[in-house]
Structure 1
């Protein structure tokens, strides 16, 4: 698909802000058009090869993620991981990984077109997210480098703690993104919120 014809899962939402009498307590930032690949393999056999290609310490511990040079690997299960890359890295990284693992037992599935990423930050971010998830988001339980699959609203998501601003990255399937953002807007209304999209 050409750059000009791609459409964000949240294309219907323009930059928006709900006033609450003071600066917004929550910021929602969409990062569209990233690369997402689901990797299934036996890490005991393939860890050195995957680490070498991606430049990260693979595999990450359970419910953790590792990152290097804008490539992030999230633990999903004992033999399953999500690889996130900037779109411009995607073909190169996936091509190298597929070439390196040729002949091995693994599955690498491109799910880029079915996912999007909403970063939630601000002083009220955790309060807003707690309205929709049973996951304990206190930094003692869900600190830097933590990730978990859970429910937010009525939607299955992957959450990851953002080390740069202590916010939370939310990864959601494209078909549920519109519903989820509306849920988050409603949850954040009393705190004030701002929505924008990364270029």
Structure 2
């Protein structure tokens, strides 16, 4: 995944009060789209230190924390161990580099992950393949923001354009909304975040 080296370096200091707050509002936004999932398998894709997935553990039967950064995975493994959590596992893997046919899930959610992915369409196609029939991909990310200029991340996403791309890939019942705005939350700029729910 894009920017893995950077995330490896900041893994030990990642859980700042600001990131914890963003994770909380993001988890609440995702929870709205989770229905009768107590027996379902979820993937926290690009999980980082697991801030979002940890707060959603009780919603699902089991959860896989997946990230390309070994140091981030080490952080989440430490949390799972300290809290004696049984219904979760971890995987360090780069889905952009290769597909993983054996992996299956009913829910895949990702928070501020897509903006780091150079080939968004390829990744969304691979996530579609992982989904069980009727499963959900839930995306939380930044709305397109012309004030953000970066060589390393997308400057957010136009919700309509993203829906059109996902429809072309086979996703259906796609709905999205802007749910949060904050000061200096995206590369130092004021920005808003959206949640998008889609199904297979």
Say whether the fold is shared (TM-score over 0.5).
no
Q: Which has the larger radius of gyration?
A: 1
Which fold has the larger relative contact order, with Cα–Cα distance below 8 Å and residues 6 or more apart in sequence? 1
More helix per residue: 1 or 2?
2
